[in-house]
Structure 1
Amino acid sequence: MDVRFSPLKQSEPTRENGVQLKYAPAKRSAYKARWYLILALALSPVILFALWLYVSWVNVTSEGVVSMTPQKLVSPGEGVVNEIYVQVGETVHRSTPLIRIKTPVLDAEIAQIELELNTLLKHNQLNNPALNSVLENKIAAAKDNQIKMQEMLKEYQQLHKNQIIEKDQLNRVEQLKFQADLWYKDAQSERLRELQSQQRNNVSGSQANQIRQLRQQLVTLKARRDMFVIRSTDTATVNDITAAEGDIVGGGMELMYLSARSEAKVIAYLEPKFVDYTQLGSRVSVIFPNGFKAEAHISQPVTLIRTLPSRLADPFETNRPVLKVTLSFSEPLPSRLRVEGLPVEVKHGHVVIDNPNYQSANFRSWFQ
């Protein structure tokens, strides 16, 4: 036997406590709204948990910045910034001078060595001017005698040809010409031997050794001074200049940052609990501030750093370790977006689960 009990509201919906109500439909709407509100309050924890689950584990995002692979240029030593040849945003090529640093101490050492070297060269008495003069005069006299003997020989040859003199007389003149040639060659040989002797003294003398040492020191110091002219190592863009003309800099102090236009990357910072999303080759989406989206992939092994960079961290955020993820774009990035330090949002794709027990273990960890 089927017994049904119907409440009074179902049989007489327009009557309330025996009184006829004219606005019963509106009253029923209020009851329905109250019922839906109670149902929403009852289900709100489940909805909030599902929303938290989606935001925290399904929709994994991280903050990042565009990096143009900046190259930091530092000072090779102490000095004063004398000239800056470039400006921020300027494109430079290989070996282009960027900054010149004046080094007063090094310049003073070079000036002192040049002065000592010039003094030694000026007062170097390795050569013997008197002996050289005698040898030069001896060579000149022998040359004159050789010329005279040559003219005499021509005259005697002509006389002998005309049968005016005998053959014996011609032979004597030829012997004299031969002796004049020997005398001239001997004078030249003597001068050559003297020059070689002077050169040996120049090589082995104490002053010569001192001159060589000073020249070697001078070359080394000038090479060090050339290092204080900072030059670009490749074609790049001047990203930032941290020094100014007149600044006193020390060794290792930052001077300038250069970035190569062709190597735009993104450095993303992800919480360590999402380490499974950081496998090499994993695909991600990079969203720029203007809404532009670009596809990228993880191109380098992930590293753990102590704290989030200050430009991305909140003012009151405590130091916490994060994963540093390097991303490379799948397609060339438009030039307007190749801005060093430009903040971006990175959306990570689904994690690849190699362990079949990973899913259940991960869910159990949420409730521990």
Structure 2
Amino acid sequence: MKIRFDSRKEHNPTREQGLEVLYAPGKRVAFRLRWYLILFLVASPLLWFVGKVLYGFWLVDAPAQLRMPVVELRARDAGVVTHLDVRAGDRVEAGQRLIQLDNPEWRARMAQLQALPAGLEASAPQSIDGHERQVLSRQLERARQRVGQVQALLAQGAATRAELIAAESERDARESDLLAFDRRQRELSQRPYGEARDLLQQHAEQAWLESRLQGLELHASAPGLVAEVLVGEGENVGPGTLLMRLEGMGEPVLWIYLEPRYGRYAQAGQPLEVRMPDGNWLKARILQQADRAGRLPSDLRSPFAASQLGLLVPAALEEPLPERWRVDQLPLQTRFPNDWAGVFSAGR
């Protein structure tokens, strides 16, 4: 299509088919503006591309995400969620209880152990055994004295042979009782482990159950903000199940997705600027050199980007972050001052 502005109307714009037109000069201007607007719309992609190239020569920009220090709270053992003390968005202090789990099987086993006879001393009380042996020894000693007295009386003719036999029988009975007691004690001491071992195992199992049940009550290790709660009361969870996420109150880290061709900017100490969602710019600095690459999240990809991979560069803000922007995975835009010396050296 060829656009011409030298028609008859251009030479005599105030007349239309022999009639005088009062608004003809204004119509002529609108006619020109309309075609200029069409040309601008057709050429806008080319103008945008040229502007992008010129902007890239002056400044280097890259998408970024704000990452808050997040702590994942997971279940150590299987159990049932009995109490949820916090909700998403609540602030917590160090030591505050967050969630309470319970294990009914462990509770039932604990009740069984508590119903059994407790205490090693109850099965073999050494003090009672020693007292019993002393009684048996005294009885044997008196029986022996009785035999000696009867033998002396028999020699004097004051006792009969039957009384001596009765005294000796009493002595033998007391000796038999003492020997039986010693034999019983020896058998108990020679029994391998025996009841003592069972009682020790009972105490050890009970202590283990108490420690595991106490571990089902989870507390906050540091002050923070509850970012997400992933379970509900009455829900069964297994070992390693993710229960909730906590955002710490520490300084956030800015992860920048820098194009590989701008890898010279990924150096420790490199200054940059971060554009916040409200339009303000904050100063930041690269923490360390990039050591890995990552795929850009879908919400950070530009429509005309050639590559969806970028160098993952960590950076820290040098200015205080406003409280309203302390949001995990907040999308941001960063800007690097162009390194003209590096560009010219690379060109040479």
TM-score bin, normalised by smaller chain? 0.5 to 0.7
Deviation per residue, 1:190-238 (Å, 9 max, x gap): xxxxxxx9xx97xx96322222222122222322222222221222222
| Aligned residues with identical type, % of pairs | 24
Partner of 1:231: 219
Partner of 2:22: none
Distance 1:74 1:318, change over 3 A: farther
Partner of 1:271: 259
Q: Which runs of 5+ in 2 are unaligned?
A: 1-6, 14-24, 136-184
Partner of 1:67: 67
Distance 1:352 1:231, change over 3 A: farther
Distance 1:106 1:57, change over 3 A: farther
Q: Which AA in structure 1 matches 2:319?
A: E
State how far apart, in whole Å, the 1-side matches of 2:319 and 2:82 are.
42
Q: TM-score, normalised by structure 1?
A: 0.59
Q: TM-score, normalised by structure 2?
A: 0.62
State how far apart, in whole Å, the 1-side matches of 2:341 and 2:112 are.
72
8 Å Cα contact 1:304-1:321 kept in structure 2: no
Partner of 2:204: 216
Deviation per residue, 1:332-364 (Å, 9 max, x gap): 22222222232222112224856974133xxxx
Greater than 4 Å deviation, 4+ residue runs: 43-50, 119-123, 127-136, 352-356
Return the offset for 1:132.
4.3
Deviation per residue, 1:145-184 (Å, 9 max, x gap): xxxxxxxxxxxxxxxxxxxxxxxxxxxxxxxxxxxxxxxx
State how far apart, in whole Å, the 1-side matches of 2:212 and 2:193 are.
29
8 Å Cα contact 2:68-2:327 kept in structure 1: yes
Q: Which AA in structure 2 matches 1:242?
A: L
- 1:81 pairs with 2:74: no
Partner of 1:5: none
Return the offset for 1:110.
3.3
- 1:92 pairs with 2:80: no
Partner of 2:238: 250
Aligned to 1:61, what secondary structure does the other structure show?
strand
- 1:359 pairs with 2:343: no
State how far apart, in whole Å, the 2-side matches of 1:346 and 1:57 are.
16
How many positions carry a matched residue from both structures? 274
Distance 1:95 1:22, change over 3 A: closer
Q: Which AA in structure 1 matches 2:53?
A: L
Return the offset for 1:244.
1.8
Deviation per residue, 1:10-38 (Å, 9 max, x gap): xxxxxx9xxxx678xx9xx99xx9xxx8x
Q: Which AA in structure 2 matches 1:308?
A: L
State how far apart, in whole Å, the 2-side matches of 1:119 and 1:49 are.
84
Partner of 1:152: none
Partner of 2:311: 323
Distance 1:313 1:120, change over 3 A: farther
Distance 1:101 1:351, change over 3 A: farther
Q: Which AA in structure 1 matches 2:88?
A: V
Aligned to 2:292, what secondary structure does the other structure show?
strand
State how far apart, in whole Å, the 2-side matches of 1:252 and 1:313 are.
34
State how far apart, in whole Å, the 2-side matches of 1:357 and 1:308 are.
29
State how far apart, in whole Å, the 2-side matches of 1:124 and 1:52 are.
89
Q: Which AA in structure 2 matches 1:77?
A: D
Q: Which AA in structure 2 matches 1:74?
A: R
Return the offset for 1:330.
0.6
Partner of 2:3: none
Partner of 1:290: 278
State how far apart, in whole Å, the 2-side matches of 1:72 and 1:250 are.
15
Return the offset for 1:104.
2.8
State how far apart, in whole Å, the 1-side matches of 2:67 and 2:115 are.
50
State how far apart, in whole Å, the 2-side matches of 1:237 and 1:255 are.
14
Q: Which AA in structure 1 matches 2:106?
A: L
State how far apart, in whole Å, the 2-side matches of 1:352 and 1:245 are.
60
Partner of 1:124: 123
State how far apart, in whole Å, the 1-side matches of 2:67 and 2:48 are.
37
Aligned to 2:72, what secondary structure does the other structure show?
strand
8 Å Cα contact 1:276-1:352 kept in structure 2: no
Partner of 2:249: 261
